[in-house]
Amino acid sequence: MLGPAIQFIPVEMAGHGKRMGEPLYQSFAEAVDDLELQITKQLDGSSFALFGHSLGARLAFEVSRVLSQKGQSPCHLFVSGSSAPHRTRPKQMIHDLDDELLIKELVKMGGTPESLLDHPALAELFLPIIRADFAISESYQLMEPDAVLSCPISVWYGDQEIGEEEDILSWSRYTNECFSIHSFSGGHFFIQDKANEPEIYRVLGSSLKLPN
């Protein structure tokens, strides 16, 4: 929908999707190192932006920091559905819950198909992966408190997601370039709502200054 000027390249985490046979990450830092390597393999000198949602937002930020230190700064960082790094504090440790309580939390949060959670074999397959994601997310601490990126940062959030305004505004301290905020209809998983797709692509195109 953005035309030939943009190529989307999804980045797969270890233990997920096509990399499901690989060991899951044991720490946030391990995830950053691996994803930075995966992204570096794709870089060919062209301008690139990074986009991450929720846990992916914090990973994209830390990967952007590492890449920038190596002279490969993204042209734009999009962080979606996440508080600023220094304000990311989990209210409870979901990864420590037993399977039954974990499933209840996932249903409450939305975003995970209930048909998957209701199927014992699928739940047995995916719950360890989901639990590992929560574990590294809930262990996250800002890796370099004084880190400032030399690329614009756009923050996206769902207008129905409960949080403090400062959680979003505080992202501005991590860039010395332009900073913008965009609200979309919905909760934490607004990104999965088909009704939001036209606005999502419009904002992406506008932020990346694509021609009409």
3-state helix/strand/coil string of the chain: CCCCCCCCCCCCCCCCHHHCCCCCCCCHHHHHHHHHHHHHHHCCCCCCEEEEECHHHHHHHHHHHHHHHCCCCCCEEEEECCCCHHHCCCCCCHHHCCHHHHHHHHHHHCCCCHHHHCCHHHHHHHHHHHHHHHHHHHCCCCCCCCCCECCCEEEEEECCCCCCHHHHHHHHHHECCCEEEEEECCCCCHHHCHHHHHHHHHHHHHHCCCCC
The mean pLDDT of the chain is 89
pLDDT on residue 90:
58
Confidence of residue 198 (pLDDT cuts 50, 70, 90): very high
pLDDT on residue 111:
65
pLDDT on residue 89:
64
Q: Is the pLDDT of residue 80 over 80?
A: yes
Q: pLDDT of 2-35, one tens digit each?
A: 778 888 999 999 999 999 989 999 999 999 999 9
Q: Is the pLDDT of residue 212 over 60?
A: no
Ramachandran class of 162: left when φ > 0, alpha when ψ lies in -120 to 50, beta otherwise: beta
pLDDT on residue 11:
94
Q: pLDDT of 49-77, one tens digit each?
A: 999 999 999 999 999 999 999 999 999 99
pTM of structure: 0.89
Q: Is the pLDDT of residue 210 over 80?
A: no
Confidence of residue 41 (pLDDT cuts 50, 70, 90): very high
Confidence of residue 204 (pLDDT cuts 50, 70, 90): very high
Q: pLDDT of 125-147, one tens digit each?
A: 888 898 999 999 988 988 898 88
pLDDT on residue 3:
79
Which of the two residues, 76 and 161, has the higher pLDDT score? 76
